[in-house]
Amino acid sequence: MLIGWYPGHMNKARKEIIHALKKVHAILEVVDARLPYSSENPLLRELTGDKPVLKLLNKTDLADPGLTSQWLSYFAKNNVSAMAITSNSQTSLSKTITRHFRSLQKAAKPPFKVMVVGIPNAGKSTLINNLTNRKIAKTGNEPAITKGQQEIKLDEDFLLVDTPGILWPKIEDQDSAYRLAVTGAIKNTAIVMEDIALYAIAFLKTNYPENLQDRYTLDTLDEEPIALLEEIGAKRGCLRKGGVDHNKAAVILLNDIRSQKLGQITLESPTEIPKSDNENSEQD
């Protein structure tokens, strides 16, 4: 199945972001710590030009701590400013962010504007609400909650420019597309849940076998993903006339992954970045 999701409002948001970029001084990019590469919008690199970028690896409470450390080392090696955060523990993050950009502010006419960008469901809105200690941005478990831009005062001379989460018209790397779907960055209505669940099971068998086996009390993992999905479905009561309801079983599995019921899981490591993208990072 070829995965892609680019609703009309995203195309409009992309045009608005291009226009607004001319008026901001820096970029705050929010990515999902469970998939820092796949949740990084490739359009952003060409749109931001030479504007400074601070990358926030969000949702680290859901991610594998060891792999989060690997990602931070990878970004540091490639001269990319990056921080690991959780959306709900931002007591001092606003000060950290303003301090990070403070040296840049001297050369800019106040107020200093920082655009917040990220793909759908990366946690931008929750982050903004916690940074400002106010419920300013709409939040939800579904992607594409934010529909338009707004400016938010973070400090006396700092403004955050909130933008809608956008994907890109064609996701070239379908492994990345599947990872995005597993985490919920692509709406469930745009994917086949069973297909995504089978991908997730194959990944968990290889990388987090104990998490998978313990969560569903599976006797063995020496079966094909489809057989394991049926076993999970049978144990969770997803039965119908003729056997297991694959879609219901898939929904349970994916919801368990997204809510950390299978533990802290990261879906990719720096070693899985395509060579061409690694070379682009080094050149940047």
**Rg from Cα positions in the chain:** 20
Cα torsion 170, 24, 83, 261 to 10°: value is -50
Instruction: Give, in words, the CATH class of 174-258.
Output: mainly alpha
Q: Could you tell me the sign of the dihedral formed by the alpha carbons of 78, 82, 83, 85, in that order?
A: negative
Q: How far are the Cα atoms of 7, 180, 269 from residue 65, in angstroms, in the given order?
A: 34, 19, 12
Cα(65)–Cα(180) distance, integer angstroms: 19
CATH number of this structure's domain 8-170: 3.40.50.300
Q: Give the bridge partners for 151, in sequence order.
A: 161
**Token reading at 97:** 């962010």
Burial of 43 from C-beta contacts in 10 A (0-12 / 13-18 / 19+): middle
Domain range summary for the chain, segments of one domain joined by +: 8-170, 174-258
Q: What's the mean per-residue pLDDT of the chain?
A: 83
- The yes-or-no verdict on residue 115 having pLDDT over 50 is yes
Residue 225's pLDDT band (cuts 50, 70, 90): very high
Q: How far are the Cα atoms of 1, 30, 124, 199, 256 from residue 219, in angstroms, in the given order?
A: 30, 39, 40, 20, 19
**Token reading at 74:** 């990878």
- Residue pointed to by tokens 């921080």: 83
- Residue pointed to by tokens 């831009």: 149
Taking each helix axis from N to C end, the angle separating 246-258 and 193-207, rounded to the nearest 10 degrees, works out to 50
- The yes-or-no verdict on residue 180 having pLDDT over 60 is yes
In 65-221, which ranges are continuous DSSP H helix? 65-77, 93-105, 124-132, 174-183, 193-207, 209-215
At 49, is the secondary structure helix, strand, or coil? coil
Tell me whether the omega of the peptide bond preceding residue 111 falls within 30 degrees of 0, making it cis. Answer: yes
Q: Dump pLDDT digits (tens) for 16-52.
A: 777 777 788 888 999 999 999 999 877 777 777 788 8
- The yes-or-no verdict on residue 102 having pLDDT over 80 is no
Give the predicted TM-score (pTM) of the model.
0.84
Q: Dump pLDDT digits (tens) for 130-166.
A: 777 777 655 444 444 444 567 888 777 888 888 766 6
